[in-house]
Amino acid sequence: MANWESFTSSRNKGTMKLQTLRASNVQDLIGMINKLSDIDEEKINCATDAGLDGLVQLLNHEHPKIRALAESVVTELEKQEDEVVIKEGGYKGLKDMLRYKNVEAQRDALWTIATLAGNTELTHDGIVSEIGWPSILTRASAKVEDIQLPAVTLIANLCMNEEYHEMIIEEGGLELLKGLANSPNLKLKRAVCNAFANLCSEEENIPEVLGDGGIASLLAFVASGDEELVSGGLYTLANVCNLPEYAEQVLDGIAPVIELIKTSHITMVLKGAMACIGTLCETPEYQQRMMDQGLLDALLRVGKTSNPEIKYRLAASFNSLASNAEQRPALKDPQGQKISPVITLLKQLVRLKDPDTKKEAEEALAELGFKKKKKDGKAVPVVVADVGERERIQREQAERIAMKTEGRYATLRMANEASARSREGIERETVETDAQRQAAMREAIEKEAQEVIRMERAKLERERAEAEAREAQLREAIERQAEEARRATEQAQRQSQMMLEREREDILAMQREREEAQAALQRARLEQEELERNMSSMMDKMKSDMAGVEAERERMMREAQEASASSVGRSTSAMKIIKSEETYEVEEEHDIDDDYADEDDYEDDDDKREKAKIALVMVDLWEHNEDMAVTESALRKLGALAMKERNRKLIRIAGAIPILCEILKNADPKVGLTPSQSLALSVLAVLVRNVRNRDEVRKQEGLRHCLRIVKASDQEDLVNDLKALKELCKNEKNKVILRDGRLIEQIVPKILPENQPVQEQVLDIIAIISMNDVKSQVVVRDARGMPPIIKQIRHAEPEVQRRAIRALGNVSQNNRKIQQIVRKAADTIPYVVSRLADDNMEVRKAAGGAVAALAENEYANQVIIRKEGAIKMLCDNLGSSDRDDVKEQYAAAIRCMAKGNTKVQADFRKGPGFSLLVHALTSENIGLRIHATGAVTELCRDNSKNCDMICGAGAVHPLVGALETENNALQYLSEGAIWALARKSGMSSCSVIPFLVLAPCMALRSTVFAGPHSKLMAVGRKMLVVRKKSKVNAGTVLTRECSQAQEHVP
């Protein structure tokens, strides 16, 4: 059962937070001291003070490992600010228990976490970071109630912390709570209601929480009849009433709330109801509707309570009603008494010691015509200000004194009459009374005896009926057992027959398989013989070719010797013959920004020769050879052949990848890889540079082997494995498998130790796996990967530094939580901005991408980046001699900074930024053109001055020309840029007309400007209207502009 408790002062009107706690158990941790003699008694006292009953159950668990984990949690307890919390990193035991299949262990672990979260907000950061929000949400969605209830309770308690409201609302928590609001489980609904109340403590969350019929759910909670659910619903309504758009809906269903004030005796219910009523009473327009539904009677009834918070809200409600002139007559109405009960109640409230309650009551009395007077410097009770009213009260007091006097006289007369009774009468009455008492006693004894007899008979009847029922059940059980035994015997007979039939079928199948295997073996031998003959003929041909080449070389050498002998002054020494050796084409490793080219089906003579070489190597790998030197030699040759890009396709077709995966299958990183395994890993790292080879590795279960080898201690093996994983991550399916295989958690600890080759590969993997993948970004954050990445952006080596900056940008991309983490890290964003002026061009490129990622849809980061002078540095870099792919990142950063930021748009008017962007629109690099077009769009969006300057810089020609390209993204962004230029400025509209509207719209209406380019047709219509309004001769303009447009539009 959940206990509800208000965390706000009674003086705060309408803003409530509720905690959800588990009902206390009879057990406590003090009783465990004898069993846990090795645990400090102070830790036991901490757990007892925190009410961690779930931890008691875990300490008593039958499984020894769970008990050990529970003891480790107890040792991590400490007190901070008089609250019991768990030390940093101390939630590991609870997190491990959540992974067990034991339902009781998960349940008690979740109750322990929920209780800690409900006790203090100091535990919330540790719970979210170490337990993990996805883990909590998964268990809150479970179908097992014992696990779902504590998980939902934990979410409700996390809602008390305003820092996590956005996470709960945006990452699936609110959607889950709304789905559970109609659950038949009453305890679950209490926790959900509690969460709603805490989320509604911030007004900005109320529309999200109450969307899709939220008010109706709260009113259903209020009408449920359960005191805890009712009080939670009332506190939520009190928070909601602060917004006028929802107060009207609450007012429509206020009748049950007023009825609860009249009838309920529960303090928490009355507190919530009075909080809701007090908030509504502050609006005069709502008061009459509540008065019509009996509000005044309810307030007078609740005045009898002794709770100070309720009394304060009562005085505040009367003060709000008294401030409305229309309600004062109803408050002054005596209702058949001598003085108005409202006045009497307010006078009582004035006498209270609480200064806030007293002040509200005094203000209400003043509004009703009463005031406090002073006499001889001393405060006197409140008196009536009206003279006529004072005289009426004096007459009433005189009448009461007269009535009291008459009452005393009547009492005296009755006493005299009683004393005149005779003694005989008194004795007679005493005797009669004794007789009646004895008769009543006899009658009661007889009735009791009859009841005992009746109960004994009923007991005997029940015992007889139970004995008969047990006998009948026993007979039925025996009959069922006999029937089950008969059925089991029949089933065993049928199974034995089926097994005999299956054995016969298996024998026949094995015979067929043996025959097929013998036939396949014969075919394989024939194929091998054919292959050997082909290889022999090919080798003979190669030898003959080499012999011809050797003869030709000797002939040339002889001619050279003769020529040198006939030359004057030349040395007569014979020239040495140098034997030429075959060389392999080696491809350089690409950076992660440029993937390797996809393979084609073209095959030339070189490919045929390479295919023959690969076949010679594969023969040694196909045949199982006891001599490992042969295998190692074949792997070295295969690695040399794989360095040529076109050979990787041929090697895959030859079946090398399954063989390599089979060699790596038994690799043990703890012991170390064998030479053949190391060679196989290095060959695989080169082969996966081919795009299709990555799918083949996944199909052969090679990802599992690469994940296991990450733990290798050998430097060369670890680097080769990381290179292979880096290339494999570029495949979307591989990325999901590697993320689920905890690759990120394994490589994050390798970022900080000084080992440049390993650090470079690890940072590349994080950058690839996090690019446009929110789940991977969350895993990097949860694995505490952000602090080491932020630290490495200041690394002394440029290669490590640029990779760290690039990883920081990819992890932060379009993820507001991580963008906030980077912003809060000291001097991180200013340092990244400063790298835009670095001497190393690759570092500048990485810094540009990181600035774009940090500024995307995050206004606070845009402000910081702008203050650090990023705009000037980006413009300087755009005008520099950097490569176009580097300038592409600068344009992307400008685009993200200018999106929705008018200050950045205004800053661009102060320098040569527009002309540089327009020049970038004509670049041969398609990526630079795309981002430059996007930057132009954001800079001129709703900004007429920028539109005029961009048009003046000559942006119209390249934007219209971009519509003719085959790149859909560039076409779409160019359309948006033209729309933004034309819709705000008359000058820009007129400049676009000659090149875009008149000729292109008429000539290309069915092709370029149809379908997705409907915006440009709207631009054309607008600009035609502009032309009609101008005083220029329409015919002349049309003729001149059509002739000019033909030069730019096909």
pLDDT band at 704 (very low <50, low <70, confident <90, very high): very high
Lowest mean per-residue pLDDT among 5-14, 164-173, 831-840, 949-958: 5-14
**Nearest-angstrom CA–CA distance, 280 and 278:** 6
Would you mind telling me the total number of residues written for the chain in this entry?
Answer: 1050
Beta strands 77-80 and 370-371: pairing type?
unpaired
Give the pLDDT score at 286: 82
Q: What angle do CA 338, 341, 345 make, to 5 degrees?
A: 130
Give the pLDDT score at 600: 60
Per-position DSSP letters for 107-158, written without gaps between them: HHHHHHHHHHHHH-GGGHHHIIIIIIHHHHHHHHT-S-HHHHHHHHHHHHHH
**Nearest-angstrom CA–CA distance, 323 and 321:** 5
DSSP state, 773? -
Give the pLDDT score at 429: 60
The SS3 assignment for 930 reads helix
**Nearest-angstrom CA–CA distance, 917 and 940:** 12
User: Is the pLDDT at 507 greater than 80, yes or no?
Assistant: yes
Percent of all residues in the chain with a pLDDT value above 90, rounded to a whole number: 23
User: Is the pLDDT at 700 greater than 80, yes or no?
Assistant: yes
Q: Which residues contact 56 (CB under 8 A, 6 or more apart)?
A: 25, 27, 28, 29, 32
Which ranges of 729-785 would DSSP assign to H, the alpha helix? 732-740, 743-747, 756-770, 774-782
Phi-psi region of 672 (alpha: psi -120 to 50; beta: other; left: phi over 0): left
Q: Which two tokens stand for residue 483?
A: 């029937």
Amino acid at 693: N
pLDDT band at 1025 (very low <50, low <70, confident <90, very high): very low
User: Is the pLDDT at 262 greater than 90, yes or no?
Assistant: no
Average of pLDDT values for 609-632? 82
For tokens 């008979």, what's the residue? Answer: 457
pLDDT band at 1007 (very low <50, low <70, confident <90, very high): very low
User: Is the pLDDT at 4 greater than 50, yes or no?
Assistant: no
Average of pLDDT values for 405-415? 42
CB of 343 closer than 8 Å to CB of 364: no
Q: What is the pTM of this model?
A: 0.46
User: Is the pLDDT at 725 greater than 70, yes or no?
Assistant: yes
Torsion angle (degrees, nearest 10) of CA 899, 904, 910, 916: -40
Lowest mean per-residue pLDDT among 347-351, 552-556, 992-996: 992-996
CB of 310 closer than 8 Å to CB of 267: yes
Give the pLDDT score at 748: 94
Most confident of 11-15, 425-429, 905-909: 905-909
User: Is the pLDDT at 1019 greater than 60, yes or no?
Assistant: no
110 against 51, higher pLDDT: 110
pLDDT band at 517 (very low <50, low <70, confident <90, very high): confident
Average of pLDDT values for 1023-1042? 41
pLDDT band at 396 (very low <50, low <70, confident <90, very high): low
pLDDT digits (tens, 9 = 90+) for 892-923: 999 999 998 999 989 888 888 889 999 999 99
Nearest Cα to 10, choosing from 261, 274, 262? 274
User: Is the pLDDT at 307 greater than 90, yes or no?
Assistant: no
Lowest mean per-residue pLDDT among 141-155, 320-334, 401-415, 489-503: 401-415
Lowest mean per-residue pLDDT among 275-289, 740-754, 843-857, 947-961: 275-289
Radius of gyration of the chain (CA): 45
**Nearest-angstrom CA–CA distance, 968 and 605:** 38
pLDDT band at 565 (very low <50, low <70, confident <90, very high): low
pLDDT band at 581 (very low <50, low <70, confident <90, very high): very low
Q: Which two tokens stand for residue 624?
A: 């199982």
CB of 707 closer than 8 Å to CB of 743: yes
pLDDT band at 560 (very low <50, low <70, confident <90, very high): low
pLDDT band at 404 (very low <50, low <70, confident <90, very high): very low
**Nearest-angstrom CA–CA distance, 370 and 384:** 6
Average of pLDDT values for 431-435? 69
CB of 529 closer than 8 Å to CB of 619: no
User: Is the pLDDT at 810 greater than 80, yes or no?
Assistant: yes
Average of pLDDT values for 1029-1040? 39
CB of 831 closer than 8 Å to CB of 794: yes
1030 against 369, higher pLDDT: 369
pLDDT digits (tens, 9 = 90+) for 195-220: 888 888 787 777 777 777 777 777 77
Give the pLDDT score at 56: 76
Q: What angle do CA 793, 799, 802 make, to 5 degrees?
A: 40
Nearest Cα to 1023, choosing from 1000, 1044, 996, 1049? 996
H or E stretch including 371? strand 370-371
User: Is the pLDDT at 605 greater than 70, yes or no?
Assistant: yes
User: Is the pLDDT at 752 greater than 70, yes or no?
Assistant: yes
CB of 927 closer than 8 Å to CB of 885: yes
Beta strands 378-379 and 2-6: pairing type?
unpaired
Give the pLDDT score at 850: 94
CB of 401 closer than 8 Å to CB of 364: no
Lowest mean per-residue pLDDT among 210-224, 631-645, 654-668: 210-224
User: Is the pLDDT at 113 greater than 80, yes or no?
Assistant: yes
Give the pLDDT score at 436: 74
Burial class of residue 15, CB neighbours in 10 A (0-12, 13-18, 19+)? middle
Amino acid at 441: M
Q: How far is CA 499 from the centre of its chain?
A: 53
Mean pLDDT of the chain: 77
Q: Which residues contact 213 (CB under 8 A, 6 or more apart)?
A: none
